[in-house]
Amino acid sequence: MLPLLVVLAQLAATQGAPRDTNVYSSEALRRMIGMAADSNRLPPASLRGYRSHIETETALIIRDTLGREHSAEIEQIASEGRWSRDGQYALHILGYRSQNVGVPYSALSIIRAWTVPTLYGERLSLGVYFAMTSRSDTLVAVHPFATDRERFYRFSGGDTVTTLRIGTRNVPIARVRVTPNVLGNSRWGVFDGEIDLDADHYQIVRMRGRFGIAGGENRKPSRVARLTGIAAAAYVEFVNAEVDGKYWLPASQRTEFQTSFPFFGQTRPVFRVVSTISDITVTDSTNGVTDAGVTRRVIVSWAQGDSASRFADWNRELGVQSGNVHSDDFADMAPDAWRTDGPARFELFSTRASKYIRFNRVEGLFIGLEPTIDFRSAAPGISAGVSAGWAFSEQTARGGAHVSMRRGRELATLRAERTLESTNDFTLPLSDDPGFAAAIGSADNYDYVDRRTLALSLTSIVGGAETAIASAQLGIGSDHAEPARLRHGLLSTRAFEANRGAASGGYAKASADLEWHPSVTGDFLHPGVGARVHYEIADGQLAWQRVEAALSARRYFGNLSLVAHTDAGAAFGDVLPPQVVFELGGTESLPGYSYKEFAGDRAVVFRSFASYRLGIWERPIHAGRTLMLPGVSPGIVASVEGAWSELSSDAARRAAMQLGTTETGEPVSRPTDRIRTTVGAGMSLFSDLLHVGAARPLDHTAPWRFTIGFGALF
């Protein structure tokens, strides 16, 4: 819920357009807008109401720096909508299902309704109705075709952009650009975007843009927002279709909230609501009904008993509606902080939280800054920055500088820096940890090497961020082994593990990566198949070659969810540095075994599960006036996960010894000798958010053990 609250707060800081009394760009456009206002002020007199089927998907998404989207919660709702021009809009929920990988509340805590019934009227709703108890439960903007539009907007465009073929009729589509132009203060919201009109009948075919708040102190972002880069936007895209040859009524609607908190990294939280409206049945009137048709009351109800959980007539697989669109679809409507044009922009925070504050057993507390400047229109595509910080226990400074150039979907970056890098293998997406667990509970499940780098990297987005990403890097560097300087964290006396050994020396290095369907990881909810390949080669005082590959899949078949992810890697070299050897165990790469118990120059890690939801108790649970928890949604789940590693050469065995030894002189990590596999089965709860059951290893004789935990893997 936090991203949405910040969005709403930031909407009040949206910068409005310069005040200008020149409302229309031409006299012809003024006449067109006047006719559109007459046509859209009221629903057609013969339209008494309509009934429709609505399939909606809400998604809570994290968007990373390259535009890859990772869904943490998806909820799908099938409903019947009934609108009548007396002002009532009823949504009756027929079906509901969800998937969850860590969000402890339902999106219905944020919204209670998800579509607007028409685009007629003097005022325009954002597209969702918030789960609030007050009557003001949605952001309402002045309709661009309202009677008082000239106080709020200016208009440009009006040219025909395409022609639609509807039945036997060719419909010319004219596009109008609407820009806020607020004269005086107002409590109303404003729309900033474009409207497509049926140029014959002046009905709205499509609206796409951003909502903001009118009035205020010139609508400029606060100094804090400008300095820190905090920004937010609420976007809409409403598409109408012609019904019965005379009414333009909703066919699809999308409302999306995006926020950025640069201090917490360049990842961007996104809350997306996508609806498809079909099977519209109109109720006509021959009595010349003339009331306003304004939606005054929205009523949401559920099917009786638990029938919504048993609903089976879904038109789309879970995750498809929210996954078929992307946050970059609104890039041309973005707030100033996200735009690539405009005056140069300075920010104190630019990458991830661990650049500014972190805690680990090598550095202790680290505090730093990373100010950057994006030159934007002054030097299109060019940005530069520096970073600097101090590790208090280590008494060491780290930081660097970078300059980047972006051209369309291509990005080139030259970087020189000194960093403390993790040597962990096969980590999960978005798993960067500033060290909260280390500070609180002495749980520092990473090993580190001091690394100096001067490198040029090239990245290309192929087709789109959801299709493929290719990158290459060339540079020089050096690694330096570091000891653990702290015995335990701040609030725990449990001893830290020793920092694993690393070889020191310089090298020249080249690497290449290719990701196909990068948002499909198996660990997040986006369905499909994804893959990744990485290759690197280094030569110098330290020399090695290393290749990694990953394959992921997630599919939904009704109540059945199938998930699989496999990582594999191999390292080559006559003298292998220990930091390039694969280490497994005690982390996400192989839970259930001791911390990095296994190592190898060849390694494979796999995890998979099948979950079948029983189709009962899916409905979210009220836990207060607005808070709704995920439904119990019990299911039967079985999982298999495991790993294999091998030390295939003398060089690999020597590298494993350099990682560290026990008191008896044995290496702290060893090959698995065989495939280490754990199977589990039991019950999943809250749409696979939790599991309860039993698990046992298959690689040796052992009893079943009771287990309870997050996710569906035992």
pLDDT in tens, 588-642: 677 778 899 999 999 999 999 999 999 999 999 988 778 899 999 999 999 999 9
450-480: burial string, b at 16+ Cβ within 10 Å, e else: bbbbebebebebeeebbebbebebebebbbe
Give which of 73, 54, 52, 53 is closest to 62, Cα–Cα.
Answer: 73
CA distances from 506 to 451, 472, 503, 544 (A): 10, 20, 10, 12
Q: Which residue has the higher pLDDT, 134 or 269?
A: 269
Q: Are 500 and 578 in contact (CB under 8 A)?
A: yes
Under the banding of pLDDT at 50, 70 and 90, the label for residue 225 is low
Q: For residue 19, what pLDDT is reported?
A: 44
Percent of the chain with pLDDT over 70: 91
- Could you tell me where the DSSP H helices lie in 621-679? 650-658
Give the single-character DSSP code of 24. Answer: B
Taken as a whole, the chain contains a residue count of 714
Q: How many whole angstroms separate alpha carbon 13 and alpha carbon 5?
A: 13
Comparing 16-30, 226-240, 350-364, 460-474, which segment has the lowest mean pLDDT?
A: 16-30
- Sequence spans of domains, the chain: 2-338, 513-710
- Could you tell me where the DSSP H helices lie in 66-187? none
Percent of the chain with pLDDT over 90: 68
Q: How many whole angstroms separate alpha carbon 113 and alpha carbon 241?
A: 21
Tokens representing 579? 């930091």
Average pLDDT, the chain: 89
pLDDT exceeds 70 at position 392: yes
Tokens representing 330? 């609104």
208-221 mean pLDDT: 68
Q: How many whole angstroms separate alpha carbon 534 and alpha carbon 549?
A: 6
Q: For residue 454, what pLDDT is reported?
A: 98
Query: Tokens 């079906």, residue?
Result: 95
What pTM was estimated for this model as a whole? 0.89
pLDDT exceeds 80 at position 350: no
**303-333 pLDDT tens trace:** 998 899 999 999 999 999 999 999 999 999 9
Tokens representing 326? 């992307």
Under the banding of pLDDT at 50, 70 and 90, the label for residue 684 is very high
Phi, psi values for residue 20, rounded to 5°: -155, 130
Q: Are 694 and 622 in contact (CB under 8 A)?
A: no
Q: How many whole angstroms separate alpha carbon 554 and alpha carbon 517?
A: 12
Q: How many whole angstroms separate alpha carbon 233 and alpha carbon 224?
A: 17
User: Measured in whole angstroms, how far is the alpha carbon of residue 283 from the centre of its chain?
Assistant: 40
Bridge partner list, 644: 604
Q: Return the C-alpha torsion angle 384, 390, 580, 658, nearest 10.
A: 160
Q: What angle do CA 242, 245, 248 make, to 5 degrees?
A: 30
Phi, psi values for residue 111, rounded to 5°: -125, 150
- Listed in sequence order, the residues at least 6 apart from 134 whose beta carbon sits closer than 8 Å to its beta carbon are none
Burial of 536 (0-12, 13-18, 19+ CB in 10 A): middle
Phi, psi values for residue 88, rounded to 5°: -105, 135
Q: For residue 459, what pLDDT is reported?
A: 96
Question: Measured in Å, how far apart are the chain's first and last C-alpha atoms?
Answer: 29
